[in-house]
Structure 1
Amino acid sequence: MFVNLSCLQVPMICLNSTSRHNCSKCPEGYYDQADFTRSTWCIRNITFTLDKKSPVKIIIIGCSAGLGTLFLIIGAWGLYKVVKRRKAILLKQKFFKRNGGLLLQQQLSSNLYNIEKTKLFTSKELEMATDNYNENRILGQGGQGTVYKGMLSDGRIVAIKRSTIIDENNLEHFINEVVILTQIIHRNVVKLLGCCLETEVPLLVYEFIPNGTLFQYIHDQIEEFPLTWEIRLRIAVEVVDAVSYLHYVASIPIYHRDIKYANILLDDKYRAKVSDFGTSRSVAIDQTHLTTQVQGTFGYLDLEFFRSGQFTEKSDVYSFGVVLTELLTYPLKQQ
């Protein structure tokens, strides 16, 4: 197959310039062509042979190059995803160790603790449950963290406590609260459903208590549910029942160490639920007190603890006495 490509060539004027516009003969390999000026131009005549198999070869080479590039891109993307996933796994392992995961495993390895009751949630589960910790989901904030309202994949409504500060002191409180709550099964104590340790800050997942704290009903005087004398006495009895359980019925005696209005929640039937065990401590059965630095809320701590630094079961009773005094003496809302 021959193809004439003369139209692609640059014309070359004949070499015989003495005749000005006429050439007697073009050089070999050129042909003459007169243009509108009646000048004669010598155009090089070039032909070449095109192999009929060349288009197939070109297509094969092009497809091979394209597929090679595609596989290279896919391979690079896959490698990137693998490296990214590996980094995420290592980061979660780092957070797990830093958030006391090893310490928690050691604590829960004892037969004294109800291990199967505590679930380890993934970070993705809790992000989805709280709409990525949306501010609109915040139930409350305190010195140890922020509590969010969330919904798990099975439809359960939960309260998720997210620690706000990463330090050894808060970490100790967090692990302590998990260990304490794994021992407690009582209708008047908030139930721990599980925790998450693979995030930057540790998370605790509790049953959701819908009606807020006793503090709100006493001081804010919520109109929808005024606290009558009968309701106040019932709440007082329920708190006493919870404290008595912690001191005398739990497998290991527990001192709450921060009994106050804000740590008494009310469920859908307005039953009392004692919460926040971050500063609580387990004690040996034959142990009569804890010698520790003063912790808790001023106004609810007994003076003997201030003086000696020794916390006893009577210290919890004193704190409850302050709650009971406020509960019974705070005036009823005028109807």
Structure 2
Amino acid sequence: MEHRHLGRSGLLVSVVTYGNWLTHGESVAREAALSCVRAALEAGITTFDTADVYARGAAEELLGEALRGVRRESVEIATKVCLPVGDGPNDRGLSRKHVIESCHASLRRLGTDYVDLYQAHRYDDRTPLAETLLAFEDLVRQGKVRYLGVSEWTAAQIRSALDVADQLGIRNRIVSNQPQYNMLWRVVEPEVVPLCVREGIGQIAFQPLAQGVLTGKYRPGEAPPPGSRATSAGRAPTFIRRVLGEPLLERVQRLRPVADQAGLSMAQLAVAWTLHRPGVSTALIGASRPEQVTENVGAAGVRLDDEVLRRVDETLGDLVETDRTKTARMMAVKPDWAG
């Protein structure tokens, strides 16, 4: 397993991160979830990502259970705060109250004294940035958080956070951003990635497989295969159906000979492509079965030549989304905190 620095920080992360959105505590049974984490550890993955909102806290609990007995210093645990975790007026957002209370709750569920990376899950335009950043700074000083990150923030929002941190003399600046990023969804490339590269902020790219679409298992004109995310329990089918469409599925199938040329499975090609992009520190994968973890880890250390990259772009063509405004339009937290 290859490791990279998270941005310009000193923290090393495995180039493949194991995450449990839509799986642990929701669509994957407990024993299967524990087996996937064991497979990740056996494959050399040391970085694990979750969030307080995933499965209403059950995802953090399962990850904590799966890592019990593992030497704490040998893994990097990341979690997030912002999205609603209850019905109370302060059970959401990035206020000082919610950030600190949510951190303590996450630590209890994970069964650890600290998290290596604490991320603002979305931007909160109802709370002053200074309040949020000072709350994060206090958690770092208390030893409960090692590094700070954000997820799905626009370039302007990240720039504002860096400027406010400088004005306040905060030394623990943002070191990571976690955006959706894959062959099909590249909206962070025009503005977010260039800013982050300049400022030493690493990308933790989630959905490198585009909800499994880039594995090629969803075929045009056919029902989703049994056991796939599109047929699972929980919210997963709702998310995957947003990206299923005949023209897209037909185009993705044309990537199969490209993967064959590179000696990779389609899943490995997709993960390797993401890891090849500038500024990406790690690609975040999920899994419902241990063999999926093992396959995806096969992308670690793969080098794609220019011909393969060219064929990917030519094959996907106008289906690639690069509209920079969609980061803001689709990912900002709505006033009613829906979605």
TM-score (structure 1 length as normaliser): 0.25
Is the radius of gyration larger for structure 1 or structure 2? 1
Q: Which has the higher contact order (CA 8 A, sep 6+)?
A: 2
More strand by share: 1
